[in-house]
Structure 1
């Protein structure tokens, strides 16, 4: 662990970010036109999204901005919110637009055992705490966590009646606050922790994995964290019981995340990109529409990006390759599952 405070543009507080607003970007008119045209081109092709790569949807007018987004995600604050896409276009077109942007930023990786490369964040009836539950398929509040990828991208299609706001926090800032207040608990977060695989293990794998919550490698910080997955692993008798000190460390981590977080709300058409190595994200409680067709819906990409940092070798169990810029992370699709994106988009015109 670091005995000194971490420094750099990725160390910030929510109060500071709310005042700065330099993480909020606006699409230019010609960029919006180019993105919508790219989405239309994908739909007209009738090809599965997973077969569409960056050369298939050139974005010459938007390329410079996308390069700056990648820069700010890795070498800047680790979050970017993009506004300006029209919210009144069909969801299928927004989905295609997000895919085109994502392919120019990096490589999509699978988000679950079902193999989806473009997921839907909406309430499907999953309940947090159930063995196979995943947060993006639940309604209501979500605790701070990371996703198993370098960068997560979210496009808001429909928002809830109220609530469902985004909370984003700098994990290096949490590190520094814990170093100042309780360095003994901070040291625990650099040690191995057991996490449940949430029934997404491959044959022969244990239903849990072991990973530190915080890590430093080659001078760069990273964090892999879900308290729900840590608690879920406790149902396995082979997993060591959490100690009182570990529980205290998790409690302080959660309290500091809440204290230091940026509170923001995505509106339809907004896109949010987060670097999982230096941020956690959460969701406030929400009141959703009763009508399924109007329920809160976000499209989600998990991306491996070309300018990512190197990861410690003990991350390989979960991430696969750990070299900088590697295609890594995600959830290996279980045998017998077919990705929804194997289905052609033929006929889905906007």
Structure 2
């Protein structure tokens, strides 16, 4: 996304448009679910099989290598919802139970290539990551990795333009994907505490070390909100702001800053604002991190390891010219890779990439 420093401003007017939605209103709308047609499904399965057979390097393969002309409408709807619509879309209809994980992952990766550029998600530079509970830790434990525990997660943004999830297998109980409109949260802050809203446009220190153990610095700075040329964007995950307070040299948060950050988080939990998506195997979810915050309800797994709740995750760079204030979000990351060392061991072929590293996050 593009930084445009000369036209940034503070907006104390409510955000309007389709990105400012409420879950209790949207839940009964068909607008956020796209059902694959027979022609789209046949094409994706054929392309996915060719992808598995070709076994391309995930770091260099492009959308042009695997065209999906029958999915032109799917790609158009996905792009429109992300860039100027709800900021999210659920794509339903893949028959992942019949595929095996490599074919399912290949189809997911091809869909991602047609929306953006996959970027690294961990110290190994893996382009496909896993959301699966391999750890017995809880989020209160040191070193707990959110993608590898069963707890409910706080609402947050990921370190990419777009985040995609493919459900391979669901949980025995719980595990709904909860999403909420950041625009709606901001509008509620304006309504309740307008005198605090301007603070969200000012830079905060974020805990970089807790996100990336090899980070060269302990923190980076970013505002929570960017407003440029009338375009409203957010970067959230208030726990990272509060945990950064433990580091020497980080300015102490003022009482007003603490209040507005806590208010932001509190509003996300209020009934009616969030939309819960109960994933079915084969569901693909796309979210624009600048307009939608995401979470997950706690869950219980099946006792058999092969039946555990298992999602594949993509982080995408989607450069469509969205204007942002300078140094917004996790700007210390270039294409999703830490400026610290990248360790060997990355998995850059689809058959390897869909296999879970059981030691990760333990």
Same fold (TM over 0.5): yes
CA distance in 2, matches of 1:183, 1:314: 25
SS in 1 for 2:82: helix
CA distance in 2, matches of 1:120, 1:131: 20
Task: Name 1:221's counterpart in structure 2.
Answer: 232
Task: Name 1:262's counterpart in structure 2.
Answer: 275
Alpha-carbon shift at residue 37 of structure 1 (Å): 1.2
Q: Is 1:93 matched up with 2:119?
A: no
Task: Name 2:5's counterpart in structure 1.
Answer: none
CA distance in 2, matches of 1:14, 1:37: 36
Alpha-carbon shift at residue 273 of structure 1 (Å): 0.4
CA distance in 2, matches of 1:222, 1:70: 17
Alpha-carbon shift at residue 129 of structure 1 (Å): 5.0
The 8 Å contact of residues 48 and 341 in structure 1, kept in 2 or not, is answered as no
SS in 2 for 1:189: helix
CA distance in 1, matches of 2:26, 2:228: 26
Unaligned runs of 5+ in 2: 1-9, 355-362
CA distance in 2, matches of 1:344, 1:99: 9
CA distance in 2, matches of 1:84, 1:343: 25
Q: Is 1:337 matched up with 2:343?
A: yes
- Cα RMSD (Å): 2.2
The 8 Å contact of residues 163 and 316 in structure 2, kept in 1 or not, is answered as yes
Task: Name 1:249's counterpart in structure 2.
Answer: 260
Alpha-carbon shift at residue 217 of structure 1 (Å): 1.5
CA distance in 2, matches of 1:87, 1:70: 23
CA distance in 2, matches of 1:150, 1:339: 25
Q: Is 1:313 matched up with 2:319?
A: no
Cα–Cα, structure 1 residues 344 and 183, in superposed 2: closer, same or farther, change >3 Å? closer
Match of 2:289 among 272, 276, 297: 276
SS in 1 for 2:89: strand
Match of 2:64 among 55, 59, 72: 55
The 8 Å contact of residues 332 and 339 in structure 2, kept in 1 or not, is answered as no
Task: Name 1:42's counterpart in structure 2.
Answer: 51
Alpha-carbon shift at residue 339 of structure 1 (Å): 5.3
Which deviates further from its counterpart, 296-305 or 259-268? 259-268
Task: Name 1:324's counterpart in structure 2.
Answer: none
TM-score w.r.t. structure 1 length? 0.90
SS in 1 for 2:286: strand
Unaligned runs of 5+ in 1: 321-327
The 8 Å contact of residues 131 and 199 in structure 1, kept in 2 or not, is answered as no
Task: Name 2:129's counterpart in structure 1.
Answer: 119
TM-score w.r.t. structure 2 length? 0.87
Q: Is 1:185 matched up with 2:203?
A: no
CA distance in 2, matches of 1:20, 1:97: 27
Paired positions, count: 339
The 8 Å contact of residues 156 and 238 in structure 2, kept in 1 or not, is answered as yes
Q: What do the CA deviations read for 1:291-341 (whole angstroms, capped 9, x no partner)?
A: 322211101111111425121112287166xxxxxxx65232743513533
Alpha-carbon shift at residue 116 of structure 1 (Å): 1.2
Cα–Cα, structure 1 residues 113 and 167, in superposed 2: closer, same or farther, change >3 Å? same
The 8 Å contact of residues 113 and 332 in structure 1, kept in 2 or not, is answered as yes
Cα–Cα, structure 1 residues 4 and 46, in superposed 2: closer, same or farther, change >3 Å? closer
CA distance in 2, matches of 1:316, 1:80: 22
Task: Name 2:29's counterpart in structure 1.
Answer: 20
Q: Which structure 2 residues correspond to residues 69-88 of structure 1 after superposition, within 5 A?
A: 69-88=78-97
Alpha-carbon shift at residue 50 of structure 1 (Å): 2.6
SS in 1 for 2:328: helix
SS in 2 for 1:269: coil
